[in-house]
Amino acid sequence: MGHEVVEIDVAAGIVKALENATGTLSEEPFDQLLLGTGGRAIRPNIPGIDLPHVLVAHTLDDAQALHSIADARMGDDSWNVVVIGAGYIGLEMAEAFVTRGHRPVLVDLQDYPLPGLVPELGVLVKGCVEHSGVEFIGGTEVTAITPESVVCGDRELPADLVVISVGTAPCSELAAAAGIELGAGRAIAVDERMQTSAEGVFAAGDCATSRHLITGKQVFFPLGTNANKHARVAGINIGGGQARMPGVLGTAVTRYLELEIATTGLSLDQAQAAGIDACSEQISTLTKPGYMPDSSTAQVVLVAERGSGRVLGGQIVGGSGSAKRIDTIATAATASMSVAQLLDTDLAYAPPFSTVWDMVAVAARELLKKV
């Protein structure tokens, strides 16, 4: 039976919950409380946003609904779908429609898909998206949705279905109403123990903030990886143990058809904006030796602090097997390793897996000349 918590009384140590089926309000006392209210898909405030053919992709029910619609229209060339927002969810939505034989239009404010990706890699993703039959309209704001169309710039795109994927907002209203402090992105502000501004009240997951491992700043990164780590730390502390969240890097990975894409830590621009004297190098390499039949190309961008050589982040776009190499960069950044230490790391090699110099080591070798 579904219950919705509708109020938290921190001083009294009570949550009030409404039983959905009966409308009955009950009270639950607590000594310690974990808020894990998650996030919701942002619905931008534009005319037409509440029309019935405008959907989001946040829950499994949302996915099931989109799945049924897309399958029912399989092979119908007169059916048009517009995806608004080309972050990783928008990109994955576009891919899902393409694999069902549709040709969605993907619209984004940024010039390239996946905001945060450096333009040199963004252009590769854009090329792959367009090559698959998707029209990508970048640098354009959607200003209205009508029952038949999406209005953006000077274009009116026919649209029988509109999918909104412009980001996630934290469900933090309950906490705010209880007087608990909010932080980055209006997520619930937490300390390293995942405790909120209220003693004994913890928060974890998409409703909570994180601390950026490199800048030290509070950030809102709604990712499953962070949610799991948050929850582990909060759970240990609630159980009387001592655990701390060291911080996050925003490491993320996705795929568009054959193209793998991954990012971690800071880009050069982000590092410089954070006041770090940074440099970066981009290399083009192979995922495996060229004589292997499934070898493909990959681009790696590596960012480091000048002087110390500390690894700050990286991005990878390439063929099969390339994206999870980001974990090597994430590990180096987490351990504050220098580019020289990254280059010295004893990474494995055999032809089915990599070139003798792994792509991350090649990037480190080149960046070492600049740091």
Ligand X SMILES: Cc1cc2nc3c(=O)[nH]c(=O)nc-3n(C[C@H](O)[C@H](O)[C@H](O)COP(=O)(O)OP(=O)(O)OC[C@H]3O[C@@H](n4cnc5c(N)ncnc54)[C@H](O)[C@@H]3O)c2cc1C
Cβ–Cβ < 8 Å for 271, 306: no
Single-letter residue type at 77: D
Q: Which of 5, 123, 184, 274 binds ligand X (CB under 6 A)?
A: 5
Q: Does 38 bind ligand X (CB under 6 A)?
A: yes
Enter the tokens of residue 114: 């996946």
CA 124 → CA 94, 132, 309, 319, distances in Å?
Answer: 16, 13, 28, 12
Q: Which of 7, 13, 32, 36 binds ligand X (CB under 6 A)?
A: 36
What is the 8-class DSSP label of residue 334? H
Nearest residue relative to ligand X (C-beta):
205
CB of 223 or CB of 283, closer to ligand X: 223
Residue number, 238 or 278, with CB nearest to ligand X: 238
Q: Which of 122, 183, 205, 265 binds ligand X (CB under 6 A)?
A: 205
**Least Å from the CB of residue 213 to ligand X:** 16
- Non-local CB neighbours of 8 within 8 Å, separated by 6+ positions: 14, 15, 16, 33, 35, 174, 175, 177, 178, 180, 201
Q: Which is nearer to ligand X, 81 or 89 (CB)?
A: 89
Minimum distance from residue 222 beta carbon to ligand X (Å): 5
Closest to ligand X by CB, 89 or 330: 89
Closer of 1 and 348 to ligand X (Cβ): 1
Q: Which residues pair with 281 in a beta bridge?
A: 302
Q: Distance between CA 183 and CA 160 in Å, rounded?
A: 38
164 lies in the binding site for ligand X (CB under 6 A)? no
The verdict on 4 binding ligand X (CB under 6 A) reads yes
Site string for ligand X, 217-246 (x = CB under 6 A): -----xxxx-x-------------------
95 closest CA partner among 58, 41, 131, 49: 131
Choice between 166 and 227, CB closer to ligand X? 227
Give the residue with the Cβ less far from ligand X, 91 or 286.
91
Identify which of residues 7 and 366 has a Cβ nearer to ligand X in the complex. 7
Q: Which of 105, 108, 113, 206 binds ligand X (CB under 6 A)?
A: 206
HEC profile for 157-224? EECCEEEECCCEEECCHHHHHCCCCECHHHCECCCCCCECCCCCEEECHHHECEEECCCCCEECCCCH
Residue span 165-184 as binding mask against ligand X, x where in contact by CB under 6 A, dash where not: ------x--x----------
Kindly tell me the burial class for residue 341, based on how many C-beta atoms sit within 10 Å of its own C-beta (0-12, 13-18, 19 or more).
Answer: middle
Is 159 an interacting residue with respect to ligand X (CB under 6 A)? no
- 302 makes contact with ligand X (CB under 6 A): no
Per DSSP, the three-state class of 337 is coil
Q: Which of 53, 58, 193, 232 binds ligand X (CB under 6 A)?
A: 58
Give strand pairing partners of 115. Answer: none
φ, ψ at 121 (rounded to 5°):
-90, -35
Site for ligand X in 79-138 (CB under 6 A): 89
Binding residues for ligand X, per CB under 6 A? Answer: 4-5, 36-39, 57-58, 89, 171, 174, 205-206, 222-225, 227
